[in-house]
Chains A and B, each alone.
Chain A
Amino acid sequence: MQKSQLQSSQKKISQPIEFGAYSEHVPGQIPSALKYATGRFMEQRAASLDELPDWEALRQAGSAIRLHTLENLDFYLEKLEQQVIAAGGQVHWAKDAADACEIVLELARQHAVKRAVKVKSMATEEIGLNHALQEAGIEVVETDLGEYIIQLMGTGPSHIVAPAVHLKKEQIAEVFSQEFGIEAPTDPVQLTAIARQALREKFLAADLGISGANFLVAETGTLVIVTNEGNGRMCTTLPDVHVAVAGIDKVVPDWESLSVLLKLLPRSGAGQKITVYTSFITGPRRAKDEHGPSEFHLVLLDNGRSRILQDPGGRETLKCIRCGSCLNICPVYRNVGGYAYGWFISGPIGAIFTPQILGVQQASELPFASSLCGACDEVCPVKVPITKILLHLRRRVVEGDGYELAVVAPPLRAAAALGRQALGTAWLYRLGGRLLPWLQIPWLRAGWLSKLPPPLNRWTKVRPLPAFQARFRKWWKRRQQVSTGDQP
């Protein structure tokens, strides 16, 4: 395994994200692995929702809690800060990714950290923390099995909750064989045992534990982490220092609100009533505690979130609780996989989050990476109006708005204006309808247009176009004349 690969994949991206170019060459095993895995997630999800008396009411409550929190974010963040400090923790505010990395690096320097272990965290993927720590000579090991696998492969997560979901067990065995110099079996249980043994050593040797947060309870300053492998508890208990990096959107007002969101998250994500481990961490080890770090640091990351918050059209993006159900249901995601979306967050939520954080200049293709089918809106446990926000961002890309300038070149805008003229001028529209059946004749074969010249070939390369045959108006006119007794 080439370590340079590992680093390069985690650098902050600066090139435009090319969803289209990637989608033309999706490795064949990705859709088949994804359809199998996400299909199972969705089946389990459906079963776990059936057990509840009223999923819709719970969704509505979850949505209301998230919206209320965002609308009063300043209040709850201050409260959170006070409570974390009261519990003996320290709070750091990071305005962007570089800022957040620097805060963690500084802490690592202060404690002469050599080895860090990590709980799966989207926020640290967002800021490229692994890369920053490795640059500083610190060993960083992901301890979630999926994250561990993709770290060994030198790639990022392809799914919010199941980072290695695009891989088949044979590929994982190959990665382990290379890494450990053994003939790794393809049996998932044995593969897990191999990883567990390797990770056990890392847990015991680590002097820094890094986590994200699923939720931050303002009322008591409590960090909530849900995992299925217990690695979260190991990372946050064994090393002497624990740093948690979390987006400012992760705060929830109180435990009552948390109870609603904890019902929604695991059920929606993987059809679990509750995750195997739910860790509640309030400050560092206290005098009477046997275990736990001597220091607890919370890095609160903005990185563009306050900007999103100011935009009424995009604000609800921040309601997301990262369950991954919008990926699991999305026919686009299931066919292209997470890497098509070019950053750590993928699927429908990635298509709206990334352009708002990185800007539409860099992510102009993502708002269009959807058929607007609305399946994501229907499964979202906190009712993020994803389709509506996609449309909002499409407008930002082509017309520009108060937040960013248009990306689309003036000729395309002129073409759209012409298109509007043609479609919106009744006589011109009718003339088009009459001419097209004649104009199409050179390409017409047995009622179909199978091969059209560019740019129309973008349709016909996939399927033929039915023949143009706008004859209804004539039919209607004749019918009216017949019924009123007029002679044609």
Chain B
Amino acid sequence: MKAQLFITCLAEQFFPGVLEKMVALLEKLGVEPVFPTEQTCCGQPLYNSGFQEQARQLAIKWLDTFSQSDLPVVSPSGSCVDMVRHHYPALFPPGTSEHSRAVDLAGRTYEFSEFLVHQLGQIDVGAVFPHRVTYHASCHLLRGLGVRQEPLQLLQAVHGLELLPLDGTETCCGFGGVFSVVYPEVSRAMLQDKVNHILESGAEAVVASDAGCLMNIAGGLHRVGSPVRAMHLIEVLASGINLD
């Protein structure tokens, strides 16, 4: 099986380690990744800021890039997949070629954890991570894509991992893309709530599945001098596995 990598702009800029581990994990699970090098940003930041016309241009560019191949698309970000799956088709009038390409790609673009659980049927990937871990449910993965159980199933199958409950696990961390800079004080209050709950959980690491949440939560933990690590689910799933 082959799959196209949709690495997303945030993960590319800030979390190259997550992408490298995603590639290695996919290969280990028998998937041959293909990387369309023309990809840039899916347009979500512009779309969520109201610039739909600008976002449409980026959507066309994205569709041009990924419709070159019939392979499924896999991405380490729930919110970028939500953009492709739910907002792209609405950006183009039905009957246009862009619309049919958007609908086609919406149906074969997957977030990493749903790809593992539903497309590959993998839950125990053989990872070993003997630590106390708690999970923050990223909003667009959870409510946009409806992926609620899959990341938890994957974490529970990690050897040695102790999964601790997180109070307010399904509450937004305060990132919200443009929201975090338009209303920094509100974002700060939300982030403080999240950081406090993480610290109260007793975990050594908090796991999330989106670069945006990770930037925000990791930064929030760093600012209070906490040793708790903010990790992408992929980083945990790649732990203890020889990926070379």
Complex CA distance for A19 and B170, rounded to whole angstroms: 25
Pick the contact of A472: B20, B45, B139, B184 (CB < 8 A). B20
Name the CB-closest residue of B to A24: B185
What 0/1 pattern do residues 172 to 198 of B give for CB contact below 8 A with A? 101111111111111111110100000
Complex CA distance for A404 and B180, rounded to whole angstroms: 26
User: Quick one: which of B19, B51, B188 has the most chain A CB within 10 A?
Assistant: B51
Besides A23-B186, A373-B171, A416-B51, 15 more A-B contacts (Cβ < 8 Å) are A24-B185, A26-B185, A31-B189, A335-B189, A371-B179, A372-B140, A377-B143, A394-B49, A420-B51, A424-B40, A448-B219, A465-B215, A466-B14, A466-B219, A468-B13
- A374, B144: Cβ atoms closer than 8 Å: yes
* Residue A419 CB within 8 A of the other chain: yes
How many A-B pairs fall under 8 Å by CB?
Answer: 183
Complex CA distance for A423 and B7, rounded to whole angstroms: 14
Complex CA distance for A372 and B78, rounded to whole angstroms: 14
**Dominant secondary structure of chain B at its interface with chain A:** helix
User: Quick one: which of A372, A458, A475 has the most chain B CB within 10 A?
Assistant: A372
User: Which residues from chain A contact B215 at a C-beta distance below 8 Å?
Assistant: 465-466
- B183, A369: Cβ atoms closer than 8 Å: yes
Known A-B contacts A373-B139, A462-B180, A472-B7; A426 and B54 likewise in contact (beta carbons under 8 Å):
no
User: Which residues from chain B contact A473 at a C-beta distance below 8 Å?
Assistant: 12, 37
Count residues of chain A with CB under 8 A from any CB of chain B. 62
Name the CB-closest residue of A to B142: A374
Complex CA distance for A389 and B177, rounded to whole angstroms: 17
Complex CA distance for A417 and B52, rounded to whole angstroms: 11
Pick the contact of B219: A399, A464, A475, A476 (CB < 8 A). A464
* Residue B2 CB within 8 A of the other chain: no
Complex CA distance for A378 and B146, rounded to whole angstroms: 11
User: Which residues from chain B contact A391 at a C-beta distance below 8 Å?
Assistant: 47-48, 50
Minimum CB–CB distance for B3 against chain A, Å: 14
Minimum CB–CB distance for B143 against chain A, Å: 4
- A332, B14: Cβ atoms closer than 8 Å: no
What 0/1 pattern do residues 106 to 136 of B give for CB contact below 8 A with A? 0000000000000000000000000000000
* Residue A336 CB within 8 A of the other chain: yes
Name the CB-closest residue of A to B86: A388
List the interface of chain A (C-beta within 8 A of B). Answer: 19-20, 23-24, 26, 31, 331-332, 335-336, 367-375, 377-378, 391, 393-399, 408, 413, 416-417, 419-420, 423-426, 429, 433, 436, 448, 455, 458-459, 461-473, 475-476, 479
Name the CB-closest residue of A to B177: A372
Name the CB-closest residue of A to B52: A395
What 0/1 pattern do residues 51 to 74 of B give for CB contact below 8 A with A? 111110110010000000000000
- A463, B216: Cβ atoms closer than 8 Å: yes
- A476, B139: Cβ atoms closer than 8 Å: no
Known A-B contacts A371-B139, A463-B219, A469-B16; A331 and B175 likewise in contact (beta carbons under 8 Å):
no
- B219, A371: Cβ atoms closer than 8 Å: no
Name the CB-closest residue of B to A460: B219
User: Which residues from chain B contact A476 at a C-beta distance below 8 Å?
Assistant: 23, 35
- A373, B176: Cβ atoms closer than 8 Å: yes
**Dominant secondary structure of chain A at its interface with chain B:** helix
Complex CA distance for A423 and B62, rounded to whole angstroms: 11
User: Which residues from chain A contact B61 at a C-beta distance below 8 Å?
Assistant: 424
From residue 1 to 35 of chain B, which have CB atoms closer than 8 A to chain A?
7, 9, 12-16, 19-20, 23, 35
* Residue B218 CB within 8 A of the other chain: yes
User: Which residues from chain A contact B46 at a C-beta distance below 8 Å?
Assistant: 416, 419-420, 423
Complex CA distance for A372 and B178, rounded to whole angstroms: 10
Complex CA distance for A473 and B57, rounded to whole angstroms: 24
User: Which residues from chain B contact A394 at a C-beta distance below 8 Å?
Assistant: 48-50
Complex CA distance for A395 and B51, rounded to whole angstroms: 6
User: Quick one: which of A335, A436, A479 has the most chain B CB within 10 A?
Assistant: A335
* Residue B151 CB within 8 A of the other chain: no
Complex CA distance for A468 and B15, rounded to whole angstroms: 9
Known A-B contacts A371-B176, A391-B50, A472-B19; A459 and B181 likewise in contact (beta carbons under 8 Å):
yes
Name the CB-closest residue of A to B212: A371
- B186, A336: Cβ atoms closer than 8 Å: yes
Name the CB-closest residue of B to A367: B50
User: Which residues from chain B contact A396 at a C-beta distance below 8 Å?
Assistant: 50
From residue 68 to 123 of chain B, which have CB atoms closer than 8 A to chain A?
none
Pick the contact of B184: A369, A459, A471 (CB < 8 A). A459
User: Which residues from chain B contact A416 at a C-beta distance below 8 Å?
Assistant: 46, 49, 51, 54
Name the CB-closest residue of B to A371: B176
Known A-B contacts A368-B178, A372-B176, A375-B172; A462 and B187 likewise in contact (beta carbons under 8 Å):
yes
Minimum CB–CB distance for B25 against chain A, Å: 14
Complex CA distance for A411 and B143, rounded to whole angstroms: 34
Q: Which 5 A-B pairs have the closest CB atoms?
A: A371-B176, A463-B219, A394-B50, A373-B172, A398-B50
Complex CA distance for A473 and B39, rounded to whole angstroms: 11
